[in-house]
Chains A and B, each alone.
Chain A
């Protein structure tokens, strides 16, 4: 059924910290590694060692430059570089689910995860067209749509230690920039984090009500007064010893005299 559930019991999702992310792409690689041998068919590559390599990825990192318009010394006009991981946001009003003609796309009532049943997918690509975030990518080898499963085969996997029952991207992030949890529960770690740090939605104007939240880069502090270079060399303490002799000798030569 491609009609969306009226509400879901949980809203499992990710909270991504744009302040902490260092753009190392470890989550991207861990995602591909886990998911190419997990849920559904492998994540294929086309021409991987050739001149024009391409492939299906469920998570990609873009890097943006933001030019602040503030007046604060040390920030005005200085570009901030923000690494920006992006994967499926498991939207509450997921248009990718309702446009699906076959029922392959669905949103789970129990936890809100949006999945593709690859056995039913005809590879029409309409769900990818309907997604504003570019979260869905067609696998060109299998002709079926691929997307983030929130590592549904990890988070409930009792074969794994409990500490490992997290999405591969979260587990692998060396900077701790990715957090996983239930965003429907206001007491959960992720909900508290969103509240404390002012987590936001991507493209709220598209009306998709994404579950995943992003934490903004923290405010930059004003550079301290003593971190500025000295105004002038003249204010330096008079040199002594050998350096003092050189100072005096040079001063005699250029006519400024010794200090």
Chain B
């Protein structure tokens, strides 16, 4: 699938924003502290930027309001509706902290659950597509929720936790490390499934219905040049770069943040520095992760264009 920059930015930034809002909504952070006020503002800003990014890939963004209408059947519509509804408790909570130095736990639970449901809806947009077996897996949902929470907790620790005295252990650093590892376990499970699932049950034989005669091979494409379908659904990537990108993704997204968090635990005085670096590398890793999520996905329509033979350009 074509990895659109706007969709990558949308899913990673709004994921980070909802993750941070989730942590804050569960009552963490002193509502009277300036750092908590900034954290609320940042969470809402990231969510807003992410949602605005998501409209950039639309052919007619001026009609985007229509996307709120079909929540009965469409996960994309549900995602839009939930995103708007979730602004209500989150904005109230942010306003309570920023202007009233106060917090309401009941409202916090509502906001936290709604933030999680919104991320769930985002993941369901991809998970619900039968045409893309790599996405049509429960691990897609687990990964989206996991990385939203891992980036949110890293932002909370990296930006808004005060350095501690020597000898004290910061519980939040341990929590962030645990969530980071859990999210990556989900991702590794996703990758394991994605590596073997291919085009699912569909083959060039089932796509053409010619399997009863024998093995099917594409002789000629409909047109000599590419088209919307080949650009969007049979996205060509040099598969030899995939392994390298995946290594970079794991290094930036998992190894470096985990090392930084371990260092932050060992040297509590430098907690802010190390956990901030952990956040930055984690987010860079997630950009690569999201790029690969799209770029490596095989869509059933690729079978009409020669299957994997069409995905790898002749080199």
Contact = CB atoms under 8 A, between A and B. Distances in A.
A206 B202 contact: yes
B131 A206 contact: yes
A132 B301 contact: yes
A62 B218 contact: yes
Contacts of B217: 64-67
Contacts of B128: 99
Nearest to A3: B73
Nearest to B297: A129
B219 A134 contact: no
Contact of B299 (A55, A100, A129, A140): A129
Contacts of B215: 66-67, 69
Contacts of B240: none
B97 to A, nearest CB: 33
A197 interface: no
Contact of B75 (A62, A97, A99, A138): A99
Interface residues of A, number: 69
A122 B59 contact: yes
B241 interface: no
Max chain B CB contacts within 10 Å: which of A99, A129, A143?
Answer: A129
A151 to B, nearest CB: 20
Given A63-B219, A102-B67, A204-B206, A121 B60 contact: yes
B222 interface: yes
A98 interface: yes
Contacts of B239: none
Contacts of B131: 95, 129-132, 206
A202 B301 CA distance: 12
B207 A202 contact: yes
Contact of A123 (B59, B72, B207, B227): B59
B53 to A, nearest CB: 13
Interface in A60-100: 60-70, 80-82, 84, 86, 95, 97-100
Interface of A: 1-3, 18, 28, 52-57, 60-70, 80-82, 84, 86, 95, 97-104, 120-126, 128-134, 137-140, 142-145, 200-207, 214, 216-217
29 contacts: A1-B72, A3-B72, A3-B73, A18-B210, A53-B225, A54-B228, A64-B204, A64-B210, A66-B215, A98-B74, A101-B70, A101-B80, A120-B63, A121-B60, A121-B63, A122-B60, A125-B57, A125-B59, A126-B74, A126-B125, A128-B228, A130-B130, A131-B131, A132-B202, A137-B227, A140-B228, A143-B58, A205-B200, A205-B201
Interface of B: 1, 57-61, 63-64, 66-70, 72-77, 80, 125, 128-132, 200-202, 204, 206-210, 212-223, 225-229, 232-233, 299-301, 304-305
